Structure 1
Amino acid sequence: MRAVLLLMIVLWSAGTGAAPLLSICYGAGCVKTAALPLDEAQWRQVAKLFEPYPESAAEERVRIARAIATLERLSGELSGVTHLDRGGNSVGAGQPGQLDCRDESINTTTYLRILKREGLLYHHNVLERRMREHVAGIGAHWTAVLEERESGARFAVDSWFRDNGEEPIIIPLQQWLDFDEEIEPPPIEIEGW
């Protein structure tokens, strides 16, 4: 009976298999939105990043970073505008396709929820976004958040610091909350990657 129940859970959590629709926002503060249909080949680029399933939460975070970069790149190509996004706000300020931290954190959370719904995340749950204040005097800064299932450890997934299609930083949430500068926090090295 347990085996049948486990099989049912695995099949239910494996997702639809069909390519998902990406809903993104941009324009600083999500003033513009777009619904972007991925085709099967595009979705396969993302799904294959998780084959075979990661053995550890740390390995899964590395693959998550690669998947977020891939989804950003695909979103940029499909939208025809967000591919222009540059890391931070100052380089691309006022340019079409520039995303602020609200746009980035909402889009990254959307991507993470798709990965979870499609059964690609085993070691993590997706939480609500988090904000920190007083970042170099510019006010609030937002990030997507993951929680490691086994330990409960929380991680910031922040794509704002990097150009479209580059891997986001993934660091412990408390380190991200304590960091009070508008420069990229130092990465945490993961052995074997």
Structure 2
Amino acid sequence: MLSAPLTALAAAEVSICYNYGCVTEAPVRFDDAALGAQQRRLATARTAEEERQILAEVIGWMYREAGKQSPIHADRAGDFLDDGVYGRMDCIDHATTTTRLLAVLEARGALRFHRLLPQARRTRFVLFQHFSAVVEEIVPAPQAAVEAVPDHVPVLLALCDCDVSDDLPKPAPEAAGTPGARYVIDTWFYDHGTPAVVLPLAAWLDGEGPNVQ
């Protein structure tokens, strides 16, 4: 859970889960400057696919930062490589924590091409369930033009009631995506702090992903 309402210029404190089943939680803090740097990385994405690629790396960074303030740095891929280790994380810990981290980014306006959804669960066998954070692709709001207004435009406006719309810089068009497509952001598959695995939700539900237990 978040400790306080977030703004675009605020640090964030997030409660992370570990020791399996979210049985233990600890607060970790991300300062504004560090979050702002990651937000600028995400802002370089020109497509939803690019944003997902960068998002996987940003979430990995957030886990590494959290590992400096909590025992989750001991977490290893899957559930068996760190069996009995304090700070280990199962898929419930990961899904809950990643969803909270994504909520921080979303609250800051860092996600232009995606919105956060409730966690997903897959069940392939009676005794095996797996959980993950999920995002959905959306149509982004158009970006403002970043080019400077040409010097002659203010002069024209001062001299006459002219139409200068053709002289103004135009925003670059966004590449077409697939709004409504859903993807898992899954940090359970690899060792602590590794970029998240991003998969289409349908493929993940069908069992795709690295072969770990």
Percent identity over the alignment?
A: 34
1:70 matched to 2:86? The reply is no
Pair member with larger Rg: 2
Please give the secondary structure, in 1, of the residue aligned with 2:131.
strand
Letter of the 2:189 counterpart: F
Structure 1's unaligned 5+ residue stretches are 1-13, 185-193
Give the C-alpha shift of residue 164 in structure 1. Answer: 1.0
Q: Give the aligned partner of residue 141 of structure 1.
A: 130
4+ runs of 1 displaced by more than 3 Å? none
TM-score, normalising length: structure 1 = 0.81
Tell me if the contact between 2:42 and 2:110 (Cα under 8 Å) persists in the aligned partners. Answer: yes
1:165 matched to 2:193? The reply is yes
Question: Aligned residues, how many?
Answer: 168
1:92 matched to 2:120? The reply is no
Q: 1:37 aligns with which of 21, 29, 33?
A: 29
1:175 matched to 2:203? The reply is yes
TM-score, normalising length: structure 2 = 0.73
Tell me if the contact between 1:86 and 1:164 (Cα under 8 Å) persists in the aligned partners. Answer: yes
Give the C-alpha shift of residue 38 in structure 1. Answer: 2.1
Greater relative CO (CA pairs within 8 A, separation 6+) = 2
Letter of the 2:181 counterpart: A
Tell me if the contact between 1:46 and 1:71 (Cα under 8 Å) persists in the aligned partners. Answer: no
1:155 matched to 2:183? The reply is yes
Distance 1:61 1:180 in 2: 17
Give the C-alpha shift of residue 182 in structure 1. Answer: 7.2
Q: 1:24 aligns with which of 9, 16, 19?
A: 16
1:130 matched to 2:158? The reply is no
RMSD: 1.9
Flag the 1:90–1:47 CA change in 2: closer, same or farther, 3 A: same
